[in-house]
Amino acid sequence: MPQKDYVKASRPKAKTASRRPARANSKAAAPKKPWLLILVTLTLVSGFIYFLWYLNQQPAAPVTPVAKKEQAVKKDELPAKPTEEPYQYIKELENKEIIVEVPVQQQSSGPYQMQCGSFRQEQQAEAMKAQIAFAGFVSTVRRTEGDNGVWFRVVLGPYESKRKATSDMNRLRQQNINTCRIWNWT
């Protein structure tokens, strides 16, 4: 069943005759024929056609054959080929022996560790350890005492190479753990 709009039905209808202008007035206000517009349009179209005809009647610009001769002469002019090589270093380098010193590979400077946090309270260190565990790494909380009090450090490692420690640090950064730093543990 269609809905009925009771609000709209209760309003009184407006008189349409008072809002619309009379037809007799609308015909008198509009001009019967736009003679001026037709005259301007015909003038512009005829002027454009005359302009195109005028461009078509103009002679083409003559091509100068002198420019073609200059291009042909430039193509044929090549420098004379040298009889001897002007550079001497090519012959000198053929007989040179070069000695290169290869440095001895650097020895591993020891195991590396990665510290991801240092806290005054053990609960904060355990929370960081849990975050690292959710990322898939095993870490330890170390208690250290120094001149400025007790600190709880969250440490990963030891790593045999710095490359492996950097790889793990980058994987932790992907998990939004950005506080880790690598240091040499010797």
What are the residue ranges spanned by the domains of the chain? 112-184
Q: Which residues of the chain have pLDDT under 70?
A: 1, 6, 8-32, 63-76, 105-110, 186
pLDDT given at position 92: 76
pLDDT given at position 96: 80
pLDDT given at position 73: 52
pLDDT given at position 81: 79
pLDDT given at position 34: 82
pLDDT given at position 45: 96
b/e 98-135 (16+ beta carbons within 10 angstroms → b): eeeeeeeeeeeeeebbbbbbbbeeeeebeebbebbeeb
CATH domain 112-184 topology: Alpha-Beta Plaits (3.30.70)
